Structure 1
């Protein structure tokens, strides 16, 4: 329990919650000593409103983002206060601001959080309206609160500058470990392949998000990545983890056939599976050492595991003789992949156990900034999204109309805190139906539980100091858990809010009553609006995600083909194509995941969509296998047959893209690629057969290496072509089902 408590306090979410709690509470405590509670409260509001925009990045980008947010908050607060008593202007202007603030989410995550802060400012300002000169003073204090939070965040960052990166790296190691363990499960005799594949797909989504966060803090221009040896070690580990994921994906086999093939010699499979499990366990062990700030100690003897697998292969070869030639080539390739994985882990182990400085990464950090999402905000991006085809546009309209209805309800009914309805709508409403439904439920449940707990505590507690201390504690817990478990976070935030109002208003029962009513009204409005006002059902967006994932896989294939033909070092374009393929396949999976949370009537063609998600993931796996082999072996000259088959696969993928785009030229693309394909596969197999017959012309080691390459390249090309044809077939079924 003590260890868990330490980890909780050391977590990123707790640190961020502590930052905002400190920045909000300290001004209130200090100014209350001089009977200036209201001023302190205004400063606290400014700090709390700025907090959402504090997302991880290098210090310069964070500071710019927070300062921009503090200005937007002041503008929103000032607008509400100036126009509140002029209804003819107030409602149109505020609703226009709601729409515009919501629309800036098109510029990415940071813009989304800035937008969220601005929307919260509009809602809160409508509940704390000032008059006359007080408007200027109040807005100034809110701005000062934002600046206090910015300064506090910078100070906390300097107190522990590397901890966020370490925790993100620990999470990346843990997720990669889980992924590797699932790969190991595939070798079980009665493995549920579909269930394991589904878990792998969803882990890929989490890993993509984690990788993006790490890229931000490790690679963004102006960070310490180039100056700090610690950061360079982290960068080396991150690169190794990305390469491990490619290697993990690259070991794509037909597990059921292989289990059947080696059923009379199960030791080969069980030895390899044990090695896979120990690779996962080693990553988990490194993750724990970073998380717990403990010295890393190697537990698993991975080199011994490699030797055991090598021995199992030799025993199998000795027992079967020449009849095992094909199988031994396959097993040897598996051994080579495992050696590469162990090599990556050894790099990570050295990074965390040796104190030597990393002066040269052998060009591995070259062109790293190209892997980041560019931070610029062109006006044409906003213009392009001003249509119903844009999810953000539909969300902005939906939110604007729902806020308008909230205002109308507040005007028609005697509700004490109308802005609570607005806050609930803003906090709950999301682009997707599933997440909005989930948050509506969690918000209502959390509010009810929080009100019950708060009422119970307040019947027992009457001393204002005790209530104030507990309120601070609940505020800290509320901000911490909001990102972890929204229902628990909503519970603690509700207790905190009720405690604060109990110090301002003695009639706490009335406060709780209105809190419950307003939350229920806001949640209901958000839920209904998401269902009826231009809903963003995933089946509408899925063709776009499918198309993008196929395009990314096609581009990855093109880069692999170029590398095989030209040889040499791996270019940045290859790694960018690989990154894009990983992300787009992950985005497709995430979209499918969201679809499963929607009503059954809206889960249109779910089996076909899932099939396409799995096929794209399998295609990515096969591509990674081919790409990894080419990178890690001295390969022979690419034959014309290889290029023809690659072109055939690319044409299949282009045909699928044309189908999804409803391009009338699609059929011509499909017919053009059929001409030489059968002959080229025959040609490749004849080359291989001829090399087998010429065994006596080459030394044994050279021959083995040549045959391993021939076997893997041919098998992967056949597999790639089969997969591309299956993708075409699945896309046709998807189109016919429309």
Structure 2
């Protein structure tokens, strides 16, 4: 029960819920005011539409990006409303506008998620503004005053500015809140990653499935870390902060990233552990203690999220001593072999517990002043994506996935408009277009998933709405339900799509019921329109200029190998006695984690594509797992050599590193030959090293480096198989 309650508390304090609450208030208040007080519901609906459109672009990010995105959205929806107001006077011009604007807005994906959200807001305004006009057929026309078009567009603009003002005021009064929420969610996902790690010590789980879940969770953690970096390192207010709050956020995130590295570095031969020690019960004890670490880490994240003090509850001394005694009691000279590996696991758990407890030492409630975190150049840890015409021009060809997606969107929307125009199915056939724009995504896997979620969610939500309207006749109770579903819709729109659809359908049914439209007719119409729009979107995604993941995997593999080489080169430079700065090392580490996450995400998308389009599925999974083990072992070596004196290592240590680099470079060069024969990658020559006597620590390090060499050789073989 406690994990469920903790999940609920995480959600209620998350930015998803606060964003949903803000959107609900911004949309609902104008509608209620103009409906109840001014008796002009149309004005309230138009202002609410503007607020809803602006909310789509209000995602976590630096204040300047948030402000610019909201203002760009307001301008976009204003101009779109004017164009649509004139275009809907004639069916042909409206169809032309739908085709051109859907193509244009889809191209916004070139500039990232926030710009893509501005395009989505523009499409929403187009469709809902179009819906206000009469269905006149392909050649019909209607008369509408210029002043009415400008008035409608102005009201939509006012709605967007109304939401913009609310959002910026909240941000001004609580400037660190989004960073706290993002940091807490990052810690929460790292705790989930560690929970999967604990399953490796549970003999009842399948190791292949564990690895797949681990690499998938790595994608989630990487995304959360990127959000925190955007919020912290692109904000001068936070990075240059001289008060405790800003320093605590930056220091805590730095510690969290190092903690994640340490968790990732906890790699062992789990199959061997299970075979040798599974019957002793020691692995179950280890898994239990890791779950304790998970709970403590989750509690720290929740404390940051809620802004409350967290009292450390992690005292593992007695439990770890019990495990140590069990290890010491193992009989010698048996088939189990040397239990040294179990002692290493125990040391890793102790170090992990110390680092988790260390997070509490930089909390605001400790009363201590954190050290100045400005030793790192934080601007190098975030990517910058300028808005320029050149980037758009470079994507105007069939080589660009965004261009292909834009063509698919335009064709699908035009087909949807034609079907909606001539389909004799009620007065809300614009739902077909709305379904297409919401479901159709650049990747087929996302389109397919959204289509099934929308169909199931619409069915479940429709049944729920009918039950409420049939058995709850009281208007006040219905209004309360509508507001709750409205809040659920806006709270889950970025978190869980199927839940959002389940909420939005009864919300729409109850709203239409208040407007005097029979809900029984509406629910059937909505189901049919959703089905038609979903079919059009899936067909377009499959048949119109598709770009399958197997066709795009080689560039992803090259990026992974490049990052691996640079990461390993930092270790090589350190072993050669060169000084590797903390910034350079952490940048190399970040690159490996990001590129590994990109590979894992591509693999997950491939699994949702048609089987006939999947190529090298098992090889890609094997490469992703090998790459994860590689980065884990390199991180382990770095952590164990961090205090090593800057003296050149022996050839015994450097030889496997250089051979590992050769393996990675060979794999990269082989993949690069498929693209216009670029210059081959070579590892740099390093100065000869001084001879030295191998110590016991060096012997252990040599074993670890030899294992890394074997991993890179296996990675090169798998890469060769994928390249074919």
- Pairwise same-fold verdict (TM > 0.5): yes
Q: Is residue 2:268 matched to residue 1:253?
A: yes
How far apart, CA to CA, are the structure 2 residues paired with 1:490 and 1:561? 52
Q: Which of 679, 702, 716 is equivalent to 1:728?
A: 716
Shift of 1:48: 0.5
Q: Is residue 2:238 matched to residue 1:239?
A: no
Q: What is the DSSP-based 3-state SS (H/G/I as helix, E as strand, rest coil) of the residue aligned with 1:82?
A: helix
Structure 1 residues 103, 667: closer, same or farther in 2, change over 3 A? closer
**Mapped contact 1:545–1:584 kept (Cα < 8 A):** yes
Q: Which of 459, 466, 476 is equivalent to 1:448?
A: 459
How far apart, CA to CA, are the structure 1 residues paired with 2:678 and 2:325? 52
TM-score of the superposition, structure 2-length normalised?
0.88
Give 1:707's aligned residue. 696
Q: Is residue 2:249 matched to residue 1:229?
A: no
Give 1:92's aligned residue. 96
Shift of 1:538: 1.7
Shift of 1:389: 3.1
Structure 1 residues 260, 492: closer, same or farther in 2, change over 3 A? closer
Q: Which of 215, 218, 234 is equivalent to 2:229?
A: 215
How far apart, CA to CA, are the structure 2 residues paired with 1:620 and 1:368? 23
Structure 1 residues 310, 223: closer, same or farther in 2, change over 3 A? farther
How far apart, CA to CA, are the structure 2 residues paired with 1:717 and 1:451? 59
Q: Is residue 2:394 matched to residue 1:384?
A: yes
Q: Which of 79, 84, 87 is equivalent to 2:83?
A: 79
How far apart, CA to CA, are the structure 2 residues paired with 1:162 and 1:725? 46
TM-score of the superposition, structure 1-length normalised?
0.86
The number of aligned residues is 703
1:437-476 to 2 correspondences below 5 Å:
437-459=448-470, 467-476=478-487
Give 2:136's aligned residue. none
**Mapped contact 1:546–1:612 kept (Cα < 8 A):** no
Structure 1 residues 341, 581: closer, same or farther in 2, change over 3 A? same
Name the stretch that deviates more: 136-145 or 345-354: 345-354
**Mapped contact 1:246–1:628 kept (Cα < 8 A):** no
Give 2:187's aligned residue. 173
Q: Is residue 2:646 matched to residue 1:658?
A: no
Give 1:298's aligned residue. 312
How far apart, CA to CA, are the structure 2 residues paired with 1:426 and 1:562? 51
Q: Which of 392, 408, 413 is equivalent to 1:398?
A: 408
**Mapped contact 1:217–1:223 kept (Cα < 8 A):** no
How far apart, CA to CA, are the structure 2 residues paired with 1:150 and 1:198? 41
Structure 1 residues 460, 638: closer, same or farther in 2, change over 3 A? same
Q: What is the DSSP-based 3-state SS (H/G/I as helix, E as strand, rest coil) of the residue aligned with 2:121?
A: helix
Q: Is residue 2:360 matched to residue 1:345?
A: no
**Mapped contact 1:651–1:669 kept (Cα < 8 A):** no
Name the stretch that deviates more: 594-603 or 397-406: 594-603
Structure 1 residues 36, 362: closer, same or farther in 2, change over 3 A? closer
Structure 1 residues 468, 185: closer, same or farther in 2, change over 3 A? closer
**Mapped contact 2:362–2:368 kept (Cα < 8 A):** no
How far apart, CA to CA, are the structure 2 residues paired with 1:207 and 1:160? 25
Q: Which of 190, 196, 221 is equivalent to 1:182?
A: 196
Structure 1 residues 334, 56: closer, same or farther in 2, change over 3 A? same
Q: Is residue 2:32 matched to residue 1:18?
A: no
How far apart, CA to CA, are the structure 2 residues paired with 1:452 and 1:361? 57
Shift of 1:285: 3.1
Shift of 1:560: 2.0
**Mapped contact 1:434–1:598 kept (Cα < 8 A):** yes
Name the stretch that deviates more: 711-720 or 82-91: 82-91
Query: Of Structure 1 and Structure 2, which has the larger fraction of its residues in helix?
Result: 1
**Mapped contact 1:60–1:222 kept (Cα < 8 A):** no
Q: Is residue 2:436 matched to residue 1:436?
A: no
**Mapped contact 1:173–1:241 kept (Cα < 8 A):** yes
Shift of 1:410: 2.2
Q: Which of 582, 586, 591 is equivalent to 2:597?
A: 586
Aligned CA-pair RMSD: 3.5
**Mapped contact 2:10–2:302 kept (Cα < 8 A):** no
Give 1:703's aligned residue. none
Name the stretch that deviates more: 498-507 or 598-607: 498-507
Give 2:581's aligned residue. 570
Q: Deviations over 1:616-642 (max 9, x none)?
A: 111111221222223244464223454
Structure 1 residues 448, 281: closer, same or farther in 2, change over 3 A? closer
Structure 1 residues 332, 646: closer, same or farther in 2, change over 3 A? same
Unaligned runs of 5+ in 2: 134-143
How far apart, CA to CA, are the structure 2 residues paired with 1:213 and 1:419? 35
Q: What is the DSSP-based 3-state SS (H/G/I as helix, E as strand, rest coil) of the residue aligned with 1:518?
A: helix
Give 1:526's aligned residue. 537
Name the stretch that deviates more: 136-145 or 440-449: 440-449
Give 2:137's aligned residue. none
**Mapped contact 1:80–1:90 kept (Cα < 8 A):** yes
How far apart, CA to CA, are the structure 1 residues paired with 2:326 and 2:525? 71
1:548-627 to 2 correspondences below 5 Å:
548-568=559-579, 570-627=581-638
**Mapped contact 1:180–1:248 kept (Cα < 8 A):** yes
Structure 1 residues 448, 730: closer, same or farther in 2, change over 3 A? same
How far apart, CA to CA, are the structure 1 residues paired with 2:679 and 2:59? 49
Shift of 1:358: 2.9
**Mapped contact 2:63–2:235 kept (Cα < 8 A):** no
Q: Which of 171, 184, 201 is equivalent to 1:157?
A: 171
How far apart, CA to CA, are the structure 1 residues paired with 2:477 and 2:206? 55
Structure 1 residues 509, 351: closer, same or farther in 2, change over 3 A? same
Structure 1 residues 275, 466: closer, same or farther in 2, change over 3 A? closer
Q: Which of 392, 397, 408 is equivalent to 2:418?
A: 408
Shift of 1:722: 1.2
Structure 1 residues 204, 338: closer, same or farther in 2, change over 3 A? same
Name the stretch that deviates more: 200-209 or 274-283: 274-283
Shift of 1:28: 1.6
Shift of 1:158: 4.8
Give 1:192's aligned residue. 206
Q: Deviations over 1:305-364 (max 9, x none)?
A: 666777888x589989xxx9x986x77766665554334223212223743243424645
**Mapped contact 1:539–1:604 kept (Cα < 8 A):** yes
Give 1:696's aligned residue. none
**Mapped contact 1:58–1:223 kept (Cα < 8 A):** no
Name the stretch that deviates more: 212-221 or 638-647: 638-647
Shift of 1:74: 0.9
How far apart, CA to CA, are the structure 1 residues paired with 2:162 and 2:502? 27
**Mapped contact 1:81–1:125 kept (Cα < 8 A):** yes
Q: Which of 18, 39, 43 is equivalent to 2:43?
A: 39
Unaligned runs of 5+ in 1: 692-705
**Mapped contact 2:408–2:545 kept (Cα < 8 A):** yes
Q: Is residue 2:649 matched to residue 1:638?
A: yes
How far apart, CA to CA, are the structure 2 residues paired with 1:268 and 1:512? 57
How far apart, CA to CA, are the structure 2 residues paired with 1:56 and 1:392? 23
**Mapped contact 1:546–1:613 kept (Cα < 8 A):** no
How far apart, CA to CA, are the structure 2 residues paired with 1:509 and 1:338? 59
Structure 1 residues 665, 646: closer, same or farther in 2, change over 3 A? farther
1:41-80 to 2 correspondences below 5 Å:
41-80=45-84
Structure 1 residues 29, 653: closer, same or farther in 2, change over 3 A? same
